[in-house]
Amino acid sequence: MAGKKKTFEEALGRLEEIAEAMEREETGLEESVKLYKEGVELAAFCADKLNTAEQQVSQLKVSAEGIFTKRPFDLAEE
């Protein structure tokens, strides 16, 4: 995926591939370390994407007067 912008779904799919490859006993130490490094980078990428998405999610609240206001999404209010 180098040189191409990856999506969250692509990164997550690649993480799954890496996990499967590392579980196989025929994966050597050097390859495992390489896969681990790639996995850490992909995990950070996914965490960043999720954080960005969470910040973008908002709710519309209707006041008693029927006025809509936009506010950050808060799971604690659910």
Other Cβ atoms closer than 10 A to 18: 21
- Residues 15-24 have pLDDT tens digits of 999 999 998 8
CA 72/CA 78 separation, integer angstroms: 13
Q: What is the pLDDT of residues 24-66, one digit of tens each?
A: 888 889 999 999 999 999 999 999 999 888 777 666 666 677 7
Domain boundaries, the chain: 8-77
Q: Which value, in Å, is the radius of gyration of the alpha carbons in the chain?
A: 20
Which pLDDT belongs to residue 71? 73
pLDDT in the model for residue 1: 46
